[in-house]
Amino acid sequence: MKKLALALLASAVALATTPAALAGPVTWTAWSSATAGSVGSAAGTMGSTAVTYSGQTDGLGLANAAANSQINVPWLPASSFMGGTVGNAPTVADDSVAMTGGLETEETITFSSAVTDPYIAIWSLGQGGDPASFVFSSPFTIEAGGPDQYGGGTITQSGYTVWGSEGSGVIQLDGTFNSISFTTPQSEDWFAFTVGEAATPEPGSLLLLGTGMLALGLLVRRQLAGKPGAMIS
């Protein structure tokens, strides 16, 4: 009986600490300012984490579109940015960092505190017959993908590189980061990105742990109830 109780406890802990495979909420960066330039910048907040960007940018996505009399609206349709472990798309109100790419110089997203397994959403990367890319130095997984307002399709992966020919979607980098660096070597009209992190704590893990501990408590109570002289309150 003691061995069974210990086995149950170990199973409960193992289940509670296993990452959830289902989609969960993501806290996306709300971008508030940007300075356009080949060495430009942008700033925003991701929950309680301050986020800054340094690199080529045409400013914030919505302002860039308005300045060029375009109707581009990043993060629509929302379905292109939901899937895998991503339960919600960035919102139009969160805006985005607009880019045209075409530089081999390093571009960097910096966090005020370390972020584990961050997400990067990418909108309208490349054009039909004229692909563009983000080249990272860390492994990642594509979690979601689909068309933008011009059609197109999902982003694709080759090693540490994300490719798109009018491609949109979300990737998740593997590891804990104080900053993320990449290059965007191909030039095009414009595309956009944002960054996010999984919201915590995960209710599913807490529920699994609570259920396992409750079952363990009931088992121990039954074991004690069968022993002479055992006190059970």
Higher pLDDT, 217 or 194: 194
Number of neighbouring beta carbons within 10 Å of residue 190: 19
Q: What is the pLDDT of residue 129?
A: 84
Distances (CA, A) of 205 to 42, 44, 211, 214, 220: 35, 30, 10, 14, 23
pLDDT tens digits, 196-212:
999 975 555 444 445 55
Rounded to 5 degrees, φ, ψ at 74 are: -60, 155
Is the model's pLDDT at 131 over the cut of 70? yes
173-200: per-residue pLDDT in tens? Answer: 999 999 999 999 999 999 999 999 999 7
| Domain segments of the chain as ranges | 2-15+205-223, 23-201
pLDDT tens, position by position, 12-42: 444 444 444 588 999 999 999 999 999 999 9
Token readout for 58 is 């045409």
- pLDDT value at position 150? 84
With b meaning 16 or more CB within 10 Å and e meaning fewer, what string describes 64-98? bbeeeeeebebbbeeebbbbbbbebbbeeebbbbb
Q: Decide if pLDDT at 170 tops 70.
A: yes
Q: What mean pLDDT is predicted for residues 95-115? A: 96
- The predicted model gives 56-76 an average pLDDT of 90
How many angstroms separate the CA atoms of 158 and 76, rounded? 25
Separation CA 126–CA 185 (nearest Å)? 11
pLDDT band for position 149 (cuts 50, 70, 90): confident
The CA distance from 187 to 159, in Å, is 21
Examine the pLDDT at 3 and tell me if it is beyond 60.
no
Q: Note the pTM of the prediction, 2 decimals.
A: 0.79
pLDDT-based confidence at 223, cuts 50/70/90? Answer: low
| pLDDT at residue 19 in the model | 45
pLDDT for 80 beyond 80: yes
**Separation between Cα atoms, residue 82 and residue 93, nearest integer Å:** 17
Q: Which residues, 6 or more positions from 113, have their beta carbon under 8 angstroms from its beta carbon?
A: 48, 49, 178
- CA proximity to 102, closest of 44, 71, 63, 56: 56
Asked whether 98 and 59 are in contact (CB, 8 A), the reply is yes
Kindly report the average pLDDT of the chain as a whole number.
Answer: 84
**Residue 52 — very low, low, confident or very high, per pLDDT cuts 50/70/90?**
very high
Q: Is the pLDDT of residue 8 over 60?
A: no
Q: How far is CA 65 from the centre of its chain?
A: 24
Q: How far apart are CA 149 and CA 124, in angstroms?
A: 9
56, 101 contact by CB (below 8 A): yes
Assess whether pLDDT exceeds 70 at residue 11. no
Cα gap 133→187, rounded to integer Å: 9
pLDDT of 14: 47
Query: What confidence tier does 228 reach under pLDDT thresholds 50, 70, 90?
Result: low
Amino acid 22: pLDDT: 84
